[in-house]
Amino acid sequence: MKLYYSPGACSLSPHIVMREAGIPVQLVKVDLQAKKTEDGTDFKPINSKGYVPTIELPDGQRLTEGPAIVQFLADQAPARGLAPACGTIERYRLQEWLNFISTELHKQFTPLFDPSCESTLKARQQEKIGGRFDWVAKQLGNRDYLMGSAFTVADAYLFTILTWCGHVGIDVAKWPTLQTYKRRVEQRPAVREALKAEGLVK
C-alpha cells in the first residue's frame, strides 16, 4: 500500500498505524510547497486537495483525510485491536476522539506554522490549544492510552500532534500526563520505525 507523506506532518499518524497493523508501507515523499513528489511528479492529480496524507490501494483507488484513512487501515487488521469493532459504542468513542483531535487540536495548529502569523494571533492559538490540552490530560488521567489500556489509531493521531508542540512554542512539560503519554507512545517499536523512516529520529 502506498502512503504519500511529508516528514512529521499529519501523515505520520497513518504511517504509524500501517506499521502497527503490519501493513507493508511504500512511502512516497511529497514536497507540500512545490506540490510535487520526490521524483518530480505533480501531486495535485494524485490528491487535488494538495495535502497529505493520501493512501493508494492495490487496485489504484485513493483515500484521503487522516481520520478516515486510519480507520480503514485498522479494519484491514482487526486482530491488532487498533480500532473497536464497527457498530459498537466503543467505535463511536474512537470516532469522537478522532473528530476532536482533527478539529479542536490539529486545525488549531495551522496558523502557528504560518511564518506571517502575527504575535497576537499566535498567542491566542497557543492559549486555545493549551485549554484543549488541559481537557485531554484530564480525560487521559491514569490510563495508558486514550481508549484505556490498548493503543488505538486515536493515539497515533494525538502523538503526531504532540510532536509539533516544540516547533510552535508550546511546552508539553506543562502537562506531565501528556508528556509521560508522549514518551510511552514514542517507545512503541512501530512508532520508532515510522519516526526513523521519516528521518525524524536516528
Render pLDDT for 136-160 as a digit per residue (tens, 0 to 9). 999 999 999 999 999 999 999 999 9
**CA within 13 Å, CB half, 147:** 22
Mean pLDDT of 45-71: 97
Beta bridge partners of residue 4, listed in sequence order: 28, 54
* In the chain, % of residues over pLDDT 70: 100
Share above pLDDT 90 across residues of the chain, in percent, rounded to a whole number: 99
Contact 109, 165 (CB under 8 A): no
Cut 0.95: pTM above it: yes
Question: Mean of the per-residue pLDDT values for the chain?
Answer: 97
189-199 average pLDDT score: 98
Is residue 202's pLDDT more than 90?
no
Reported as a single tens digit per residue, the pLDDT across 24-41 is 999 999 999 999 999 999
Question: In sequence order, which residues have a C-beta less than 8 Å from that of residue 50 and are 6 or more positions away?
Answer: 32, 35, 43, 44
**pLDDT, average across residues 32-61:** 97
pLDDT in tens, 63-113: 999 999 999 999 999 999 999 999 999 999 999 999 999 999 999 999 999
Domains of the chain: 2-80+190-197 (3.40.30.10), 89-188 (1.20.1050.10)
pLDDT for 80:
98
Confidence of residue 193 (pLDDT cuts 50, 70, 90): very high
Closest-CA residue to 66 (of 48, 54, 82): 54
pLDDT value at residue 98 = 98
The x, y and z cell numbers of residue 185, run together, are: 507512545
CA separation for the pair 177, 158 (Å, rounded): 13
pLDDT score recorded for residue 196 = 98
Q: Model confidence at 165, in pLDDT bands (50, 70, 90)? A: very high
* Block residue for cell numbers 487535488: 48
